[in-house]
Chain A
């Protein structure tokens, strides 16, 4: 699907390149850039399908952002969009250069040689167009020759057009106009000199030797132009013509800038925000500040320009070193965060990871950005967890973990948010329970809802031990139980198993007892009603299901999966309490059901699994029973009960069940 779409899009883009380019520019200027299908498609042509899928998804997310409010069930946190007020946008980061900076011309005509291997696909078309222009020009000349009066007429028209065009240009969009004015203002003579490889390598050497060299300015200017290549129409951008030069500039600046700035400022690696703030009054800061600003801003431009995940990840990794520098520019940091969060939610794991690390870095270095960071990332998470399929299930799991990381940075702050969000979940649930209307029920029976609940479960699991979060825990538990209650029946078994897994997690983090079996009866009493094998071997993939489609309801596959997963979550429950003095009683009722199930199941592989669990539980039960026959304390002796658990844990023979749990095929737990 994605591939198909990609092809189409590419075709479309080729046809309408001009308009596409324009549109892209516009989008970029709004920082809601969607990966350009035209450009990125081509860029990715050599890479596999996996890459193809990613921008598509990112696309979806961006597109959905618009009407997110309607789709997100009102779960979103409000964001104030009144950012981007300027501390940077008023200047474009152009640095005045010292005239002593030398420009070299390339002795060898390397351009043609270097560029021939980077065919840009448009060459053919461009060539054709060139031909066409020549033809048309000829025609025009003929006409002019024929009628010299027409030449005058044409000239008049052209001048008219120019004046009109310039007027329109200035209206076009603000970003461009800023560029234009800025560009027109920096009438630096060096601007129109073409940057050659030699020039750049010369500059690089100079800067590498002596960080304070004046060529740093020129280099950063070149970096600016490189970053804005294709966006800005200013003539200075035209200075870069060879791919080699482009590459040189970008890589050198990205890899060295941080070191150079640190050398200038004489700061070490583990500097924090306060130090930067202190520095701001220092003289060395005053001199270097424009350079830093230019570098950071242009790097952001580059980030919003690039489409290739790998390059993006790389740029982010390099940029992360300079994260602390952003603290001097709050609005730039905000812009950075927006870009980062968008990239974080995109499908590529590496990119996601490096974006997340950067986000975390920024969030922990700049406390004032934390709010934005938490809100924005939460909303993005909700938007991207709307649809779950086999392809993105892992990614969503990763996003959840990332979010938990971010929310664990400042638990106090996060708890407020968690409270709000859980309150919203609760309200939705109550509404659904009250009206029982399809519309309301669907809000609960949605990935967004479940993923959101799962997020808070994970958050609780990570922080329960260190903080007092009991009220939060009980309301999450209420939500989980409420959802399970609201959707009974076999069809919702995947959802239910998910909920049970959440309870298991909560149970293990809080050391509280949850009657897990009460939610698993449906699974354990699930009888295969239809013995006959369905013709189509439809594979049930629980990981991406909440509700089982009707046609699969009676399939053997579904049946099998259900019981296996039930065994899995049940054994997790057993494993948690296997050392407890009351384990035999915990196991009593589930054992009865398991034995019954074992008798009735006709599927051999299932029988084996069930049998193994029964044996393990039985064995564990016997161990505990034997052990407690020998003790003399009573059930109300809490300390003795506790030490019983510890004693048993120390014994080698016991706890088989937890090993069993660990040995249950991992794949079963992957999705939960």
Chain B
């Protein structure tokens, strides 16, 4: 106990109470280990008492004061001293238990940064042992240690004040001794060999893999080797092995299913080739099975889970037809519910900040139509809960949820498989059971949806005060709204009121538009979607609900002006027009008039697709509300109908207060001049209503609803249509006279630029002079070259002369 007290004492003195709070968990773990270590090495712990307290104190306090230079200086000094002392001593074996280590040097070996520092120290030690040179390697060790300490110091200076518990850890690390070093050395050796082995195995894997890919038939047996490698102790090797196998399997799995041979078949004599083939298939099948089993077993281990699941998914993706696909597990909708629940939890955990894809899968769920209605009723529909293929890649932005997501992936995959299987075996589920499962799925689904809605509402409440998320977005809201729209008929009536209230809130968030759009408000598209969903929910429940949807009209009325092409999705706007106005029954006259006027104005400022959607809606409104047709006519100073507001206010926020009934749809006369012929003809068509009596409708020119019309005219659509080959125009043949059409007279000025005689003369003469100069230069150069080469020729000439001479001499000699 004494030692512990002394330790504590030391803690107070030495330890700079600075530890990164985020490293908390790790530290605790390390601390436990250290405590164990401490107990196991009591003898060494006692060494604590002998610690050079002063130096430690000075060191630690300096550290605490962040006096780095000072510390470095101290270290260098210490180093010198130690070297000197070592020189005096005889060389020691590195494994000696009683090796004396300067405690200060040992200090940082294993500190708060746990593993990293430890490894470095090991490596340093490894250098030591491999070199087997005493003092020199000591130096190295010291160097590395110093660097380690530097790193540590940095960490310390970065870290904030820690708590006492963590201080203990620090104290533990101050108990270095010889044994530790020897242990370290052993580990280093192990690691070295492991590393070598790893390299070796990696190379082996690569080799086998390559040969397999080159010629699978003759190397099929290598699969076993690869599988063996996968049983390796080293996790890295296992992972690599699994990946390599995956690559190999992906490549070699045939496009057919291998059938088990019957006994009869086995007995039949076959040709060599067939035998070989059978062997190949057999081995492949066996290895594949083993591989799958391996994967399944590994899936349960946290370290391998992600990898295993990925491998399986890839296999399913590339070879869904192959044997053993059912290995991944059968289910009867349990998987669906599990997946939905998992996603629900996932959403909950991540506070709705997920990639939209993660809940978009819900859209592919299918429920029996009558699910929400009567429990008694026996359903006969086929069990269909299959999701169609989704983006398998659920986003990986949150590592925490990887497992779950991976499971979702797996499950959705598996479900696909199983469904196919189910259909093929015509396996039917007990209807009641199925119903139960579906109900549960549904409730989990709606739970998620409501959670997202509520979450969006709560964020929006903060609007203006705190920016909760920097992007201020609600990534899940759009798919959530879409899902609500899709499953609106299944929503429990009890929820309805709450849901509508929620949507109302969401759709109206910029109600008190202060002029500054906050970044974290809902986008126009999202708000429009809210309106759409509300109406869908309302309608799909037979409109029995006594809900006031007036607010949504007001929202739409204002949102029409907030819509921006490119920024907002035009389709949503068109859909909103369709859902709220086009599909609606008899509208309130004043409201209809307000919308009519606003849509007409809208059509003047927006592209033809939007304009068309607006005009179709407008026309529909005019048809349904024949009294509004008065707006087409200009009766003595505006509409003849009296209403609350006499003067039309184009910027009104409330359709009831806009006074639109008193206005005239002058817009249409301008829209008749619209460049887009479909828009202009629609405008004319609407205008023609003025001449008809209220019960008559004009000749319909298009049956499309606003959404269809929008899609039809949208730019994407227009550009994806085949280009209409422009026929060469038939212009009246007419040649123009001499008059200019494009150039302004100003541009033609300064034309007759007959430069002043002198200037021109000078320039021309200059031109000539330059040319003459060049000619002259050329001539001179040629002459010079000629002369030079003549001179050079002299040498040649001399040489030849010499040769001739020598030849002559030789001849003379020979003759002589």
Contacts and interface: CB of A to CB of B under 8 A. Distances in A.
A199 interface: no
Contacts of A469: 729, 731
Given A411-B731, A419-B726, A430 B780 contact: no
Interface of B: 515-516, 561, 564-567, 600-608, 610-611, 632-634, 636-638, 650-651, 664-675, 677, 684, 687-688, 690-691, 715-716, 718-720, 723-736, 738, 740-744, 747-748, 750-755, 759-778, 780-781, 783-784, 787-788, 790-791, 793-794, 797, 801
7 smallest CB-CB distances across A and B, nearest first, come from A230-B771, A122-B773, A120-B773, A243-B765, A404-B742, A488-B566, A636-B687
Contact of A130 (B636, B780, B793): B780
Interface stretch (A89-97, A578-586, A606-614): A578-586
Nearest to A123: B773
B675 A522 contact: no
A306 interface: yes
B561 A589 contact: yes
Contacts of B783: 133
Contacts of A517: 605-606
Contacts of B605: 515, 517-518, 586, 588-590
A462 B777 contact: no
15 contacts: A18-B781, A140-B787, A246-B764, A310-B760, A310-B763, A402-B742, A412-B734, A423-B723, A430-B723, A513-B671, A521-B565, A577-B670, A581-B669, A600-B515, A629-B638
A580 B670 contact: yes
A118 interface: yes
A207 to B, nearest CB: 20
B773 A471 contact: no
Given A125-B777, A247-B761, A412-B731, A478 B718 contact: yes
A592 interface: yes
Nearest to A316: B753
With a 10 A CB-CB cut-off, give which of A42, A411, A478, A513 has the most chain B CB atoms.
A513
A125 to B, nearest CB: 7
B767 A311 contact: yes
B720 A434 contact: yes
Nearest to B606: A518
Contacts of B666: 581-582, 584-585, 628, 635
Contact of A518 (B565, B688, B777): B565
Interface of A: 17-18, 21, 39, 42-43, 115, 118-123, 125-126, 129-130, 132-133, 136-137, 139-140, 143, 147, 149-150, 153-154, 157-158, 226, 229-230, 240-241, 243-244, 246-247, 250-251, 306-308, 310-311, 313-314, 317, 349-350, 353-354, 357, 364, 398, 400-402, 404-405, 408-412, 415-416, 419, 422-423, 426-427, 429-430, 433-434, 458, 462-463, 466-469, 471-475, 477-478, 481-482, 485, 488-489, 506-507, 510-515, 517-518, 521-522, 525, 577, 580-582, 584-586, 588-590, 592, 596, 599-600, 628-629, 631-636, 638, 641
Contacts of B565: 518, 521
B780 A317 contact: no
Contacts of A158: 790
Given A43-B763, A467-B731, A482-B715, A511 B673 contact: yes
Contacts of B759: 310
A462 to B, nearest CB: 4
With a 10 A CB-CB cut-off, give which of A307, A411, A462 has the most chain B CB atoms.
A411
Contact of A635 (B564, B634, B769): B634
B634 A633 contact: yes
Contacts of B731: 411-412, 415, 467-469
Contacts of B734: 411-412, 466-467
Contacts of B787: 133, 136-137, 140
Nearest to A520: B605
Given A118-B766, A405-B741, A485-B719, 8 more contacts: A230-B774, A243-B772, A246-B765, A488-B567, A515-B674, A522-B566, A636-B669, A636-B688
B781 A317 contact: no
B515 A596 contact: yes
B753 A350 contact: yes
Given A433-B720, A585-B670, A586-B670, A129 B780 contact: yes
Contacts of A507: 675
A416 B728 CA distance: 5
A638 B770 contact: no
B512 to A, nearest CB: 15
Nearest to B691: A636
B765 to A, nearest CB: 4
Given A350-B750, A585-B601, A635 B632 contact: yes
A133 B780 contact: yes
Contacts of A115: 769
A601 B489 CA distance: 48
A433 B719 contact: yes
Given A150-B797, A635-B665, A415 B773 contact: no
A468 B729 contact: yes
Given A600-B515, A629-B637, A512 B784 contact: no
B763 A634 contact: no
A409 B751 contact: no
A241 B768 CA distance: 9
B788 A136 contact: yes
B774 A589 contact: no
Contacts of A596: 515
Contacts of A306: 767
A635 B668 contact: yes
A621 to B, nearest CB: 10
A471 B726 contact: yes
B349 to A, nearest CB: 34
With a 10 A CB-CB cut-off, give which of A120, A513, A636 has the most chain B CB atoms.
A636
Contacts of B793: 153-154, 157
A291 B669 CA distance: 68
Contact of A129 (B632, B672, B726, B784): B784
B718 A419 contact: no
A110 B606 CA distance: 78
Contacts of A240: 768
A137 B783 CA distance: 10
A386 to B, nearest CB: 21
Given A477-B675, A589-B601, A154 B790 contact: yes
Contact of A230 (B611, B672, B763, B775): B775
A268 B345 CA distance: 97
Contact of B764 (A251, A512, A586): A251
B667 A17 contact: no
Contacts of A641: 669
A240 B783 CA distance: 21
B748 A353 contact: yes
B687 A635 contact: yes
